[in-house]
Chains A and B, each alone.
Chain A
Amino acid sequence: MARADFRETPRTRAARHRQGGARWILALAVAAMVLPMLSIVGFLLWKAAPVLSPDFLLRAPVDGMKAGGIWPAFLGTLYLVVFSLALAGPLGVLAAIYLHEYAKESRLTKLIDLAVLNLAGVPSIVHALFGLGAFVAFAGMGRSILAASLTLAVMTLPVIIASTKEALGAVPRSFREACWNVGASRWATIRAVVLPNSISGILTGFILQVSRTAGETAPIMFTGAVFYKSLPEGDLFAYGLLDQCMALSMHLFTISTQVPGVSDGVSYATAVVLLGSVLAVNAASIALRVYLRTRKRW
């Protein structure tokens, strides 16, 4: 072919320029998401710096919650996260095992999939209404850590189911077939081979839900979180299951909207502790994911 066929024409030049321009605009779109996030996080850290210290985490609020630390809120969030995951985790994993290992494609499974999707789409404030109606009122738990944890558990269930399904799916079918070929039952296969090999993915899903649970406010606002609770410092077992509790997310909301005269430092520091915990947990999940990927034996 003659060389002239590849000479640049005005049309191709325009296309090339448009391409370059488009690339910039698209990059700008990403920047428009990432830069505000980075500047916000940086700004939060800057305003919070004077107040952040280990003491902030371990001491109780003083001076009408305008100063001091956030210990009861931190402990409360810990309780809520642990209990809700203890409830939603096993249930979610078992449900995912059912959907992935046992159920044949049928109307029932389609219905379950639809239900999981819809459950995931329920607004968090409606979860609060559900928790209020079902756990606080109907089940008679009253406003308590128990009711709030159950509400959070229902909220995180669909995501745990989805992420566990994915993890189970990552285990090659040949593993299962090998077990079946030697006569192992379905459950024995799952217990001995599938679960151990998918545990990394399952854990990653759990950990991500930890950060989500810690950050939610609406579901706990009416089911167990309070404005303030006096609590001895440093005692990890200070809360009872039927007590109400403070929580990091609720506390941030409270001091932003209902406590007069809170110094900027304390407010921003509370936001940073919440955000920081959430991001730390997410980072742990990513690290776990990467570490376990390197250890994969297939």
Chain B
Amino acid sequence: MSKVAAVVRNAGSDTMVNVAQAWAEEYAKVNAAVSVEVSGGGSATGIAGLIDGVVDLANCSRRMEVSERARAEEKNHHGVVETIAGHDALALYVHPDNPLDEISLEQLGRMYGRGGDVERWSQLGISWPHGEDDRILLISRQSNSGTYEYFRNSILGKRGEFRAGTRDLNGSKEVVSLIASTRAAIGYSGMGYAIEGVKTLRIKAGASAAVAPTVESAQNGTYKISRPLYIYSLEGAAAAITNYLEWILSPAGQAVVRKAGYVPLVS
């Protein structure tokens, strides 16, 4: 009934869902005979779909684990192909009226971590002009988000726990929208989700100077909280799938990555 020649099912990381959609949109101009179906669901769901054979390309903002790989290979009798399609710099956002410009990883740990001592803006040297409530409103993600995991691993440590009372939002975009309208808020989301109405903080790691998240700083490693974006597929996949993957890695696909606000591969 369908007039397209082939369907490519691309699902997984919510961080990558927008760039995945942008790829599909752009690719339709290149090859109209292939229809790409894009969904989110999180890295774990993408991997599970790959294992079950209902997803052709699984987007992951974290590395596939050995056990997951083994299961995929066992169930599908094909090896797993790992492709890095770009990078995502994790940005910290605050309201534009917030005088804060930079923050250190260590301060973030004390702010977000359980038992941390930074709870008020005044502790960071910020004072609100009209004496409003000084408490820091922490915006976070829901617990099964790859972004949440990455933030926890890099800021709080692998066994670290978030403090209670964070607002756990359901999407990268919601975090930014909320911060844009909430003075006392701070939150993390992909660099690509920046909008006009928020301010991106420079991040200070250790003793080096604070660095803002940009394509360049992420590529040369001076911006410390940046992670690779993976796409997993199976060996022996149909031509439509491998052609699409190749296109994603090509300059055309990488241009889409940059436009979407992510960090393209260093060419």
Per-residue contact bits, chain A 37-79, to B (CB 8 Å; 1 contact, 0 not): 0000000000000000000000011101100000000000000
Is there contact, CB below 8 Å, between A230 and B174? no
Is there contact, CB below 8 Å, between B3 and A230? no
How many A-B residue pairs have C-beta atoms within 8 angstroms? Tell me.
92
Chain B residue contacts of A258, Cβ below 8 A = 14, 17-18, 40, 171-174
Contact-residue bracket for chain B: 35 or more
Per-residue contact bits, chain A 218-252, to B (CB 8 Å; 1 contact, 0 not): 00000000111111100101111101100000000
Q: Is the interface of B mostly helix, strand, loop or mixed?
A: mixed
**The one of B34, B35, B36, B193 that contacts A260, using a Cβ cutoff of 8 Å:** B193
Contact-residue bracket for chain A: 20 to 34
B238 to chain A, nearest CB (A): 16
Q: Which residue of B lies closest to A137 (CB)?
A: B52
Which of B20-28, B72-80, B122-130 participates in binding chain A? B20-28
CA distance A169 to B176 in the complex (A): 55
CA distance A232 to B2 in the complex (A): 11
Interface centre among B14, B18, B170, B174 (most CB of A within 10 A): B18
CA distance A191 to B3 in the complex (A): 39
| 4 interchain residue pairs of minimum CB distance | A240-B2, A230-B28, A228-B38, A228-B21
Residues of B in contact with A (beta carbons under 8 Å apart) = 1-4, 7, 9, 14, 17-18, 20-22, 24-25, 27-28, 32, 34-40, 54, 170-174, 176, 192-195, 260
Of the A-B pairs whose beta carbons lie under 8 Å apart in the complex, a sample of 29, sorted by A's number, is A64-B18, A64-B22, A64-B260, A143-B54, A227-B21, A227-B40, A228-B21, A228-B38, A229-B37, A230-B28, A230-B34, A230-B35, A232-B3, A238-B2, A238-B3, A238-B4, A239-B1, A239-B2, A243-B37, A244-B37, A257-B170, A257-B171, A258-B17, A258-B171, A259-B21, A260-B18, A260-B176, A260-B192, A260-B194
